[in-house]
């Protein structure tokens, strides 16, 4: 399931907690079982970075990689082991739209965050 969200959605507070300088007006919320971390190498002005939010609330930033792009396989994160994974980055030299990846069990927890501005 994919849902386009804006600043009025409850999940926006989670996004702004880990990416306070995000200035776009929307993001995408993906409900799925796992995330494959792809696009972490620079390729034609595009690259993705990821933030993993653990169940205990700790945050781990997984920056883009700088080693040779074919030297390591893409990583896969099972979403039942973490609260959420936020994907952000650059597409063709411009800020890309953020994607919030969550598991169905954690979806209700994430949507219990307060709305931004409350």
Radius of gyration of the chain (CA): 14
Question: What percent of the chain has pLDDT above 70?
Answer: 82
Query: What domains sit in the chain, N to C, each tagged with a CATH number?
Result: 2-110 (2.60.40)
Tokens at 30, concatenated? 């993906």
Q: Is the pLDDT of residue 15 over 90?
A: no
Task: Give the residue-averaged pLDDT of 6-17.
Answer: 85
Instruction: Say what the pTM is.
Output: 0.80
CA-to-CA separations, 10 to 5, 62, 84, 86, 93, in angstroms, rounded: 9, 24, 14, 15, 29
pLDDT given for residue 68 in this prediction: 61
* pLDDT tens for each residue of 59-105: 888 766 666 656 556 788 888 888 889 999 888 888 889 999 998 88
Q: Is the pLDDT of residue 28 over 90?
A: yes
Single out the residue of 14, 52, 19, 56 nearest to residue 35, CA to CA: 52
CB-CB contact of 3 with 28 (8 Å)? yes
The rounded mean pLDDT for the chain is 80
């Amino acid at each position: 399931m994919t849902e386009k969200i804006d600043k009025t959605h409850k999940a926006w507070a989670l996004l702004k907690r880990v990416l306070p300088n995000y200035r776009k007006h929307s993001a995408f919320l993906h409900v799925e079982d796992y995330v494959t971390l792809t696009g972490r190498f620079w390729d034609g002005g595009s690259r993705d970075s990821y933030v993993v939010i653990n169940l205990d609330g700790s945050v781990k930033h997984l920056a883009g990689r700088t080693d040779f792009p074919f030297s390591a396989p893409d990583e896969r994160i099972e979403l039942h082991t973490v609260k959420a994974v936020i994907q952000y980055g650059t597409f063709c030299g411009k800020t890309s739209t953020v994607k919030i990846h969550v598991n169905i069990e954690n979806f209700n927890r994430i949507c219990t965050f307060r709305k931004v501005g409350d």
